[in-house]
Amino acid sequence: MHLTIAMAIVIRDIIIQNFSTVDGKDSDLKHIFPGSLNFEAKVVARLDQANAPASSAKVVIVDDFGAKADGTDDSQAFKKAWEEACSSNGSAIIVIPKNKIYYLKPLTFSGPCSSDLVFKIFGTIKASAKISDYENDRRHWLVFQNVQNFRVKGGGTIDGNGKIWWENSCKINKSQPCQHAPTAVTFLESKSLIVANLRFQNAQQMHLSFQNCVNVRALNLMVIAPGTSPNTDGIHVTGTQNIRIRKCVIRTGDDCISIVSGSKNVEATDITCGPGHGISIGSLGADNSGAEVSNVFVNRATFSGTTNGVRIKTWQGGSGYAKNIVFQNVVMRNVTNPIIINQNYCDQDNPCTEQTSAVQISNVKYKNIKGTSASDVAVKLDCSKSIPCRGILLQDVSIALVENGKPDASCANVNLTNRGEVYPQCS
């Protein structure tokens, strides 16, 4: 079974369209992603080369390796299909057929592979609901490790089947000890990735994590879990550079997008978030650790009924920095904390010890942010006493209360500039 040249051309055109820039005239984007057009041209050229011999691409269908999609475990069939495709001398496509549900135990798909791969999910991949299946690793379900020039797409669904994990979470069931739960899909130490046109739902904990990756595109994703599901972050970015997240709808029980230490050159554009905890940078600096996050650009995001809108959160006692951050063209609808910097973050039962060291927050811009706040304090900038926030800009910000009344702004230990109409303002 082979792809036609015509299909290869269609795939190439879709990729080129998805790599179009947000706004080539935006100085903030150019500053954060210098040379981005040259980079994208190189990536598209690389994918064109990969697609050129598509008529001879090897197609690997999981059913041919014993996958039954009958409610039994299909893990070994998927493992064999991966090994076949990964060892192929030419380009290969792994196909998960539509209208079928394949149950998998924890699996790691390891590279490096001999050539470029496409993982096409037309049907549904669903996690085993037995907690005992995760005895060897409670932190992961599906892991793609050390892969390069790799695409996952197809319009299908990845279902973490997380209900049993939520019910046993200490945040839901106070009688249970606090333990880790699996991230549904993790990309680890990989390069040149495209994850597009998929639905992620009901993760055991986080839905999609990029860890120590370079050159990533996450496009047209739907990420869904109940608003009450604990720790079900939508897209988690850690130690990853040059990542663009675009046209994603994320409705979960935790951060829609979370960006933590080691991440650089992160863009999130056309994001619909809610329910959930908003888009968060952090938490950073826990347990007196160092943290480095820089060059984050959030553009055209809508938050509906979330606990936070755009948030930066750091623990006392940390070190390092979070800098060169832009939040612009944002709509808030009934958001509890629309704009928040919290450098006294403390997610534990006992009060945190006051400490003097802190992650330095600097050069953060909030531009064209409109909407409504569900709480009286629409803007809260709670920065460190010892290491205040520097270079914070509020420009064209207008946030009213959902109910009648005047919103407040609370600012402490911050070097702040207001530009244009800003409401509410810190006194």
* Residue ranges covered by each domain of the chain: 58-242, 255-427
- 255-427 and 58-242 share a CATH fold: yes
**Are residues 338 and 379 in contact, defined by beta-carbon separation less than 8 angstroms?**
yes
- pLDDT tens, 177-188? 888 999 999 999
Calculate mean pLDDT across residues 306-322.
98
H, E, C per residue of 233-286: CCEEEECCEEEEEEEEEEECCCCCEEECCCEEEEEEEEEEECCCCCEEEEEECH
Amino acid at 223: V
**What is the Cα–Cα distance from 147 to 187, expressed in whole angstroms?**
8
The CATH number corresponding to 255-427 among 1.10.3330.10, 3.60.60.10, 3.20.140.10, 2.160.20.10 equals 2.160.20.10
Packing angle between helix 5-18 and helix 36-51, nearest 10 degrees?
170
- Which pLDDT band holds residue 413 (cuts at 50, 70, 90)? very high
pLDDT number for residue 27 = 60
Q: Is the pLDDT of residue 198 over 70?
A: yes
Alpha-carbon distances of 412 from 344, 382, 387, rounded to whole Å: 11, 5, 11
Q: Does residue 166 have a pLDDT over 70?
A: yes
Kindly tell me if the per-residue pLDDT of 21 is higher than 60: no
Backbone φ and ψ for 55, nearest 5 degrees, come out as -65, -20
3-class SS at 26?
Answer: coil
Check residue 177 and give its pLDDT: 87
The residue-averaged pLDDT of 96-107 equals 99
Instruction: Tell me the two tokens of residue 135.
Output: 């005895």
Q: How many CA atoms lie within 13 A of 112 on its CB side?
A: 7
Among 40-49, 260-269, 360-369, name the one with the lowest average pLDDT.
40-49
Question: 28 pLDDT exceeds 80?
Answer: no
Look at strands 140-145 and 183-188 and give their pairing.
parallel
Which pLDDT value is given to residue 5?
Answer: 35
Instruction: Of 41-55, 152-166, 238-252, 255-269, give the lowest mean pLDDT range.
Output: 41-55
Q: Is 277 assigned a catalytic role?
A: yes
Whether 31 shows a pLDDT value over 80: the answer reads: no
Residue 21, classed as helix, strand or coil, is coil
347 — pLDDT class (breaks 50, 70, 90) = confident
Q: What's the confidence (pLDDT) of residue 178? A: 87
Nearest to 1 by CA among 145, 97, 87: 97
* pLDDT computed for residue 34 by the predictor: 55
Catalytic, out of 140, 207, 236, 277: 277
Classify residue 322 by burial, with Cβ atoms within 10 Å: 0-12, 13-18, 19+.
buried
pLDDT beyond 50 at 51: no
pLDDT in tens, 274-311: 999 999 999 999 999 999 999 999 999 999 999 999 99
Residue 285 gets the label, from left (phi > 0), alpha (psi -120 to 50) or beta, of left
pLDDT averaged over every residue in the chain = 90
Give which of 81, 209, 193, 210 is closest to 147, Cα–Cα. Answer: 193
Q: Measure Cα distances from 49 to 43, 45, 195 in Å.
A: 10, 6, 19
Span of 29-43, 107-121, 249-263, 350-364 with lowest mean pLDDT: 29-43
The pTM of this model reads 0.90
Over 50: is that where the pLDDT of 43 sits?
no
Q: 58-242: which CATH topology?
A: Pectate Lyase C-like (2.160.20)
